[in-house]
Amino acid sequence: MTKRNNTVAALVATFISTSAFSAAPVSDATASNSELLKRVDELTRVVSNRNKVQIRFQNQLDQLGREVNEIKGSMEVFTNQLEQIEDRQRSLYQMLDENQPSSSSTTPTASGSKDQVAYQSAVDLVLNDKQYQQAIVAFEAFVIDYPTSSYVPNAQYWLGQLLYKEQRRDEAKTAFLVVTEKYPKSNKRADALLKIGIIDEYTGAISSAKSYYQKTITEYPDTSAANLAAERLKSL
């Protein structure tokens, strides 16, 4: 009887031991799944936050792109307007009678004189030869060699035009100022005032630009320069 009881006890002990051993992995698996789910949730939040940040950055980049495009569009319009002004000036100049230079405080010189020949040579470098750098040198030499010539106002104006074309804006403004201040009766004065306003606008001197635009409108109300000045003034 004792031997039989010992055998049963051993079997029960073995069963309990085996049950305990086999139950352990279930508990470990449950813990592992819970940890895995926590890590998945954490990664999901990280990815979600990263996506939100990327979307916000992309929206900001898109906005900056739109602003850059708007600025480029404005610059293109401004450049086109300047080119139109320059084309108009060239066309008007070709229609001028060079034998009747603009009025100034000096006495008009005789047709075929040295200053007229020198002036016409400089003009030809612009209109015929398209040698703009050489034309700048020629006009600079002209105003030095013939300071009392009645062609000086036109020469100064053309010098301003050429310097502006070469993006030498400060020097161009100085040339235009000579026309506006020293030759008040010059038929180039209205356009010179307009060009000074354009240079000031381009360089950010908005108050000065407005002043020159208004001056063009007030002093030369019935000119194309005044019309262009009014358009520029409205845009400021």
- The whole-number pLDDT of residue 71 equals 76
**Highest-confidence segment of 21-30, 99-108, 181-190:** 181-190
Q: Give yes or no for residue 40 having a pLDDT over 90.
A: no
Copy the structure tokens of residue 7.
């055998």
Contact 118, 145 (CB under 8 A): yes
- Report which of 87, 97, 89 is spatially closest to residue 120, judged by C-alpha positions: 97
Last residue of a domain, one of 76, 102, 128: 76
* pLDDT confidence tier of residue 102, bands split at 50, 70 and 90: very low
**150/134 same-domain check:** yes
Q: Convert the pLDDT of each residue in 48-99 to its tens digit.
A: 787 787 787 778 877 877 777 777 666 666 666 666 665 555 544 444 433 3
Q: Per-residue pLDDT averaged across 90-111, rounded?
A: 42
**55/115 same-domain check:** no
Contact 225, 191 (CB under 8 A): yes
The whole-angstrom separation of Cα 192 and Cα 189 is: 5
* pLDDT confidence tier of residue 182, bands split at 50, 70 and 90: very high
Domain that holds residue 62: 1-76
Q: Give yes or no for residue 109 having a pLDDT over 70.
A: no
pLDDT higher at 135 or 48: 135
- The whole-number pLDDT of residue 85 equals 63
- Report which of 221, 105, 211 is spatially closest to residue 232, judged by C-alpha positions: 211
**96/25 same-domain check:** no
Last residue of a domain, one of 76, 93, 119: 76
* Domains identified in the chain, total number: 2
pLDDT higher at 210 or 129: 210
Q: Give yes or no for residue 27 having a pLDDT over 60.
A: no
- The whole-number pLDDT of residue 73 equals 66
**116/209 same-domain check:** yes
- The whole-number pLDDT of residue 35 equals 78
**42/85 same-domain check:** no
The CA-atom distances, in angstroms, between 108 and each of 1, 54, 122, 167 are 152, 73, 18, 32
Mean pLDDT, the chain, as a whole number?
A: 78
